[in-house]
Amino acid sequence: MSDPQVAVAMLLILLLAIFLGFPVAFTLMALGVAFGYYAYLNPGRMWRAYERAVEDGADGWTLAEHWIGGFFNNRIFDLFVNQTYSVISNDVLTAIPLFLFMGYIVERAN
């Protein structure tokens, strides 16, 4: 799919999910994960270890392990870690919950 088609698909799925009554925050999060997974999908890289295990005649548990590993072997999960670390290391974003907690304490203390 081209970029405009992906954008239209995201918009339609967002509107459908909102009309079905899903919370907006969770809908946006799921759309980001799903379409991020699609954007970085590389089937040749994903299933290489699984296909090698099939060729070697591995047992069922090993095949299941390689299949799950191939499914989660996507660059989007590495980007989640990097983005989380960049948000955590931002001093301004770290101070916001502490500022809200301070306001709550001051409000309760009169």
- The rounded distance, in Å, linking the Cα atoms of 57 and 79 is 33
pLDDT > 90? residue 68: no
* Burial bucket for residue 83 (CB in 10 Å: 0-12, 13-18, 19+): exposed
From the list 28, 33, 26, the residue with the least C-alpha distance to 76 is 33
CA distances in angstroms from 101 to 64, 96, 106, listed in the order given? 46, 9, 9
Residue 66: CB atoms within 10 A of its CB come to 20
% of the chain residues with pLDDT over 90: 32
- The rounded distance, in Å, linking the Cα atoms of 53 and 109 is 64
What confidence score (pLDDT) does residue 67 get?
78
The mean pLDDT value for 45-71 works out to 78
pLDDT > 80? residue 33: yes
Give the Cα-Cα-Cα angle 70, 71, 73 (nearest 5 degrees). 60
